[in-house]
Amino acid sequence: MNPKTVITDRNLLEKIQYQDSAFPISFYMDHFDEYLNGEVNHHWHDEFEFGILLKGQAECRIDQSPASGEYRILDQGDGLFINSKTIHNIKQTESGTILFNFVLSPGFFQLLPAGNTYQKNILPVIKSSLAGLFLKSENDKDRQLLNSIMEFSLLKEDSPAYELYCIELICRLWRYLISRLAEVKDISKVKSKKIQEQRIRLMLSYIHTHYGDDIAVSSIAQAANVSRSECFRCFQTVIGRTPTEYLCDYRLSQAAHMLTSTDRKISDICFACGFTSPSYFGKLFKEKCGMSPGQYRYNRTAPEIV
């Protein structure tokens, strides 16, 4: 079975697919063991995202959060809110970790016949510099949000008045969120990193297009017309890694995909992904995935014995 990854464009944008475009909400149950290296890779989307950790433990990064530049640990029962257009990723720290989450289009609220609700209660959140919140189960205010998210995880699509129940839960959840945001200290003073976001997307697009080439940090920086030092600063602030670390990780993730989706020789995959030494590629791959490229291919493609 091929490992899962979040499908994005070269700028890390994930295009959400809705089962019903007239009801723009999508639900997910993420089993991290199914993801490459147990990680939901860096991405962003136009939608709001809410989630709760049902099992295990994970570390999460939400760009522009009050703890920007750091990963935060989520334990079972903890959760998160991610604002629209915010880069984020999450990785399990315990095998078997499960996250329930759902994404909600900002346009969902424009479907409701409630006057200027969107302008008064939704748009200010989108325009705020806050990227998201980490929700802790021991916090009373957070628990209100977490309980509502948990209700979503138990909701069945064939439930009576399913759509009405969703609308009720979303309105309640958003009311709790507005109350919670009012308690965030200095929310208006959180420094906006919109320029850094624009720059990082240009540099990521360059990496995703040229990862098979011999890339220098100066070339990555040039893609956004910034200095080397600003390039490092952008990556550290938004991604939490250096540009060279991100490039190496991306090359390895592409190699893992090629190993399970093609029959190309391992040495060919090594060079196609920008590595110049098969032995060094094998060493890095084993450090990231816990096994050699050959063993990884065998484990992922060998037929199951029943």
> Are 232 and 250 in a shared domain?
yes
In this model, does residue 8 exceed pLDDT 60? yes
> Are 236 and 161 in a shared domain?
no
Within a domain: residue 18?
no
Within a domain: residue 20?
no
DSSP codes, 222-238: HHTT--HHHHHHHIIII
| Averaged pLDDT for residues 83-96 | 92
Measuring CA to CA, how many Å separate 88 from each of 84, 102, 131, 216, 259? 11, 14, 9, 25, 26
The answer to whether 106 touches 48, Cβ cutoff 8 Å, is yes
Within a domain: residue 8?
no
Would you state the pLDDT for residue 303?
A: 55
Within a domain: residue 4?
no
The CATH number given to whatever domain includes residue 295 is 1.10.10.60
Within a domain: residue 3?
no
In this model, does residue 112 exceed pLDDT 60? yes
Would you state the pLDDT for residue 70?
A: 58
Residue 170 in tokens? 């979303």
Would you state the pLDDT for residue 193?
A: 57
> Are 183 and 217 in a shared domain?
no
> Are 177 and 36 in a shared domain?
yes
> Are 148 and 80 in a shared domain?
yes
Q: Which residues pair with 53 in a beta bridge?
A: 99
> Are 279 and 178 in a shared domain?
no
In this model, does residue 227 exceed pLDDT 90? yes
> Are 33 and 85 in a shared domain?
yes
Q: End of a domain among 163, 189, 215? A: 189
The CATH number given to whatever domain includes residue 51 is 2.60.120.280
Q: List, for residues 9-37, the tens digit of each pLDDT value.
A: 888 899 998 888 888 999 999 999 999 88
Neighbours of 298 (CB within 10 A): 12
> Are 71 and 176 in a shared domain?
yes
The answer to whether 228 touches 218, Cβ cutoff 8 Å, is yes
Length, in residues, of the chain? 306
Residue entry with tokens 């098979």: 212
Within a domain: residue 214?
yes
The answer to whether 289 touches 248, Cβ cutoff 8 Å, is no
Residue 43 in tokens? 């991405």
Q: End of a domain among 189, 209, 231? A: 189
Relative to beta strand 88-92, strand 48-55 is: unpaired
Within a domain: residue 14?
no
pTM: 0.78
> Are 206 and 164 in a shared domain?
no
Residue entry with tokens 């399913």: 162
SS3 content of the chain, % helix, strand, coil (to 5): 45, 20, 35
Within a domain: residue 231?
yes
> Are 170 and 225 in a shared domain?
no
Would you state the pLDDT for residue 138?
A: 92
> Are 40 and 142 in a shared domain?
yes
Neighbours of 159 (CB within 10 A): 12
The answer to whether 29 touches 36, Cβ cutoff 8 Å, is no
Q: End of a domain among 154, 189, 224? A: 189
Q: For all residues of the chain together, what is the average pLDDT?
A: 87
> Are 109 and 172 in a shared domain?
yes
Number of domains making up the chain: 2
Would you state the pLDDT for residue 302?
A: 60
Name the residue range of residue 69's domain. Answer: 25-189
The answer to whether 83 touches 124, Cβ cutoff 8 Å, is no
In this model, does residue 157 exceed pLDDT 50? yes
Which of 13-22, 46-55, 71-80 shows the lowest mean pLDDT across its residues?
13-22
The angle subtended at Cα 92 by Cα 251 and Cα 230, nearest 5°, is: 50
Residue 228 in tokens? 């080397």
The answer to whether 181 touches 130, Cβ cutoff 8 Å, is yes
Cα–Cα distance for residue pair 225/213, rounded to 1 Å: 20
